[in-house]
Amino acid sequence: MSVAHRALQIRLPPLPSIKDVIRLYKLRALRELSQNFLLEPRLIDKIVRAAGNIQNNIVCEVGPGPGGITRSIIQQAPRKVILVEKDPRFLPTLELLGDACKDKVDIDIITGDILHTDVAHFIPPDVKVGWNDPPPPVNLIGNLPFSVSTILIIRWLEAISRQEGAWSFGRVRMTLTFQKEVAERMSAPILHKQRCRLSVMCQNWCNVKYKFDIPGSAFLPKPEVDVGVVTLTPLKQPIIKLPFKLVEKVVRQIFSMRQKYSIRGAQTLFPEEIREEMALKMYNIADLDPVTRPYQITNSEFGRLCEAYKAIITEHPDLEKYDYRAPKKKVITENLDEEIM
């Protein structure tokens, strides 16, 4: 870290360690909220450093919990910190932290569910830049709860595709933790054993960087899996320039039979009676070999398949409504995490 950067750090008054905060406030971790607290300042700082220089930035942290990452963020002298935490038990500890730095950083604490919170309401309008400009001074950071991380990233990708919510301010960057396997999936290139729908979707709208691992043993309580830290920067232009829902549908069906020839999955985009004929037509239009396996298909080839699917549904509008999963919908919602992979 440069001397100039170090000089601009904020010094917090002496505070109890996060371990002591958890003990003093009797903050027993709740499994249903995927609460695994990171205690080690060195690893916490490493996550915050992965976000780059956040000095004078607007930083939104998802799930601050007892505030370990929040402290590290504040020390980097951001302009404003927006905290979204579902568990109200953390409010006193976060307010204490807010009081400790109230003259230096503006802090908004929102007790709510990130899946139902539009952080755009808390971002000052003057930071807005154009989509093709360098990213605005706004960062989303979070040691995400496992229970919502995949659903959240899919929702945020959709918001990015529409330049809505936080992304109405420009190409806002994210520094987030995921279960290691999910982080690998998000960043997996073609031929990788973890290449899946999530890889294609994340990489279609973002530059995805798998930064480093955090062992499960660094958390309290220790989760069964290790954690991967990922940064995502929205691309100026997605590789597949089509609506999110259309891309998601095509990619999902093609990956529904990951080990088979990809045309087998593509057939499930169409009703049974015309399935083989239409999928072959789709591959012909896309000029792609039907025996390619899903994990061998690049994003731009997926783009050709999506364009071909679009051409077919434009010619036969009734086919657009066909949903292979429709009769199984209930089971799918219950297994959302599995389904998203």
Quick one: 38 or 123, whose CB is closer to ligand SAM?
A: 38
CB of 261 to ligand SAM, least distance (A): 39
- Nearest to ligand SAM by Cβ — which residue? 63
Residues 101 to 120 in contact with ligand SAM, rule: CB under 6 A? 113-115
Residue from 43, 54, 59, 69 binding ligand SAM (CB under 6 A): 69
Q: How far is the CB of 111 from ligand SAM (least distance, A)?
A: 9
Q: Does the protein bind ligand SAM through residue 133 (CB under 6 A)?
A: no
Binding flag, residue 63, ligand SAM (CB under 6 A) = yes
Identify the residue among 10, 15, 33, 96 touching ligand SAM (CB under 6 A).
33
- Contact (CB, 8 A) for 202 and 226: no
Q: Which of 86, 195, 264, 304 binds ligand SAM (CB under 6 A)?
A: 86
Is 307 in contact with 286 (CB distance < 8 Å)?
yes
DSSP string, 125-171: GGG---TTSSPPSEEEEE---HHHHHHHHHHHHHHHHHT-GGGGGSS
Residue (28 or 192) nearer to ligand SAM, CB:
28
36 is in an annotated binding site: yes
**How far, in whole angstroms, is CA 114 from its chain's centroid?**
12
Is residue 219 classed as helix, strand or coil in its secondary structure? Answer: strand
For residue 188, the SS3 value is: coil
Residue 38 marked ligand-binding: yes
Residue 72 lies near ligand SAM (rule: CB under 6 A): no
We find the least distance from the C-beta atom of residue 40 to ligand SAM, in angstroms, to be 10
Our finding on whether 180 is near ligand SAM (CB under 6 A) is: no
Q: Which position has the token pair 């083989």? A: 276
Question: Does residue 113 have a known ligand-binding role?
Answer: yes
Residue spans of beta strands (DSSP E) within the chain: 37-38, 58-62, 80-85, 106-111, 138-142, 173-179, 206-214, 219-220, 227-234
Shortest Cβ distance from residue 97 to ligand SAM (Å)?
Answer: 12
- The H-or-E segment that residue 277 falls in is helix 275-286
Strands 173-179 and 227-234: antiparallel
What's the rounded Cα separation, in Å, for the pair 91 and 164? Answer: 28
| d(C-alpha 37, C-alpha 49), whole Å | 18
Q: Which of 84, 188, 208, 247 binds ligand SAM (CB under 6 A)?
A: 84
Minimum CB separation of residue 28 from ligand SAM in Å reads 12
Question: From CA 69, how far away is CA 75, in angstroms rounded?
Answer: 10
Sole binder of ligand SAM in the list 59, 65, 201, 302 (CB under 6 A): 65
Pick out the residues of the known binding site for S-adenosyl-L-methionine.
Answer: 36, 38, 63, 85, 113, 143
- Summarize as ranges the residues that interact with ligand SAM (CB under 6 A): 33-38, 62-65, 68-69, 84-87, 113-115, 143, 145, 148
Pick out the residues of the known binding site.
Answer: 36, 38, 63, 85, 113, 143
